[in-house]
Amino acid sequence: MAATASFDVTSTVDFQEVDNALNQARKEVAQRYDFKGAKADILLNTTDKTLTLVADDEFKMNALWEIVQTRLVRRGVPVKNFKAGASEPAAGGTVRRVIPIQQGIPIEAAREIVKFIKDQKLKKVQAAIQADQVRVSSPSKDELQDAMHHLREHDFGVALQFGNYR
């Protein structure tokens, strides 16, 4: 009997890299002419896994979010895991945007990944949900490579990483 090979599909965010990217974004905001004298705060809450942006108006909010996204991408942080919503009014005539950070694969996306793998009709490839990750296993490493290829091409709403390949 051949041994089964497997890999894990995860979706993680490195909060140290997020913090580094936000520090770079704060420095850029402090240097930019269009933010001189304007209120622009970037707050990261790692326990609640949220990013809070505060700006004077919607125009500055969009510019601030663009700066943050640029810095996150440069640091290699998946921006897909930041679920940006609409801005809400805050104290002092400012606007606030609370952005939840998705850590791990949500159960709906995990079910969609398992269904997607089954729909691909790959021989003897099994997918199982394990907490906030999906384990894909098969006796054939070539079939696992095909499964990775298909998963990379499809959009599940979160950034996927492949690890623990054995």
Given this model, what pLDDT does residue 2 score? 56
Backbone angles phi, psi at 101, to 5 degrees: -105, 120
On whether the CB atoms of residues 83 and 158 are closer than 8 A, the answer is no
In what helix (H) or strand (E) does residue 31 lie, and over which residues does it extend?
A: helix 15-31
DSSP bridge partners of 138? 5
Where in 35-149 does DSSP place strands (E)? 40-45, 50-55, 88-89, 95-100, 126-130, 133-138
Q: Over its length of 166 residues, how does the chain's per-residue pLDDT go in tens digits? A: 457 888 888 988 899 999 999 999 999 999 989 888 889 999 999 899 999 999 998 899 999 999 999 999 999 999 999 988 888 888 888 999 999 998 888 888 899 989 988 888 888 888 888 888 889 898 888 888 888 898 889 888 888 888 887 7
- Predicted TM-score (pTM) of the model is 0.84
Domains of the chain plus CATH, in order, are 5-12+104-163 (3.30.70.860), 15-100 (3.30.70.990)
Given this model, what pLDDT does residue 52 score? 93
